[in-house]
Structure formats: structure tokens, C-alpha cells
Amino acid sequence: MRTDVKKINEQTPYEDLTEGLIMFAGATAKKFNTGEWRTNTPVFDQEKCRQCLLCAPVCPDGCIPVKDDKRLDFDYDHCKGCGICYKNCPFGAIEMVEGVEPPADRRTEA
């Protein structure tokens, strides 16, 4: 009865949708690249970042991955560009730039 969310779309006949549109699956949001809804894009300056990690918990979409006590670059597939992380960074290490794509030279290697 588990739902394969990738098999459901706006062309699916009613007989093939789940009962009550219940999602019999977890974390299905990952499978949709909502990052394309972005109009402003946060970019992250590794030089200025002190790894205080105040940014990660405030992200409403969980788009700031943390590994070994260090934040990595944004998950641009899901970041909607709300700017909360930018407002929260005490060190000016996050900048908002116009457009959906972060400038190529500003991307940090994961």
C-alpha cells in the first residue's frame, strides 16, 4: 500500500490516487525540486562563516545540510530563497542575490 509519489501526477485518474489523498510514504517533499520557485538566492561565503550554525535550524525547508558540526552549501534543489538564514547570520556570511541561480563562481564545493 506504500505510495510511490513519483507515479502520481496531474494526469493520474481518480481510481489510481490514494484513498483520501493520504500519502503512504515519508519525506516525499525531497522528490520535488521546489527550489525553482526561488526569485532570490542565498549564497554563502566560506571565508566569513564561523560555523556558528545559527542558520541551519531556522531554515523552514531544511536546506542547510550540516555534517561533522559544519554547515555545507545550500540545497538549491529545495531552497525557496526566503532569506531567513541571511537575516540570522551574525557574520554577514550569507548574501541574497537576484535570480534563481547562484552565480557559478560563488558556489561552494560540498
Partner 1 sequence: MSVTSIRERMSGNEAVAEAIRQVNPDVMPAFPITPSTEIPQMVSSFIAGGKIDTEFIPVESEHSAMSAAIGSEAAGARTMTATSSAGLALMWEELLLAASNRLPIVLTLVNRTLSGPININCDHSDGMGARDTGWIQIYAENNQEAYDNYIQAFPIAEDKRVHLPVMICQDGFITSHAVENILLLPDEQVKEFVGTYEPEEYLLQPGKPIAVGPYSISAYAMEAKKAQAVAMENAREVIKEVADRFAQMSGRQYGFFESYRLEDAEYVMLIMGSAAGTAKQAVDELRESGVKAGVLKLRVFRPFPEKEIAEALKNAKAVAIMDRVESYNGNCGPLGSEVTAGLFRNKVFIDTVCYTYGLAGRDFTTDNVKEIFGELQGLVCEGKQVPHNRYIGLRTREEQ
Minimum distance from residue 17 beta carbon to partner 1 (Å): 5
Under the criterion CB under 8 A, does residue 26 sit at the interface with partner 1?
yes
Under the criterion CB under 8 A, does residue 7 sit at the interface with partner 1?
no
Under the criterion CB under 8 A, does residue 22 sit at the interface with partner 1?
yes
The CA–CA distances, whole Å, from 41 to 38, 68, 86, 95 equal 7, 25, 10, 8
Minimum distance from residue 10 beta carbon to partner 1 (Å): 4
Which of 6, 7, 21, 104 binds partner 1 (CB under 8 A)? It is 21
Q: Is 58 helix (H, G, I), strand (E, B) or coil?
A: helix
Minimum distance from residue 24 beta carbon to partner 1 (Å): 5
User: What residues pair up with 40 in beta bridges, in sequence order?
Assistant: 98
| The one-letter amino acid at 61 | D
Using the CB atoms, write b or e for 57-86: b if 16+ within 10 Å: eebebebbeeeeeebebbbbebbbbbeebb
Which of 4, 12, 32, 66 binds partner 1 (CB under 8 A)? It is 12
Minimum distance from residue 29 beta carbon to partner 1 (Å): 10
Cell of 47: 571565508
Contact positions vs partner 1 (CB under 8 A): 1-2, 10, 12-15, 17, 19-28
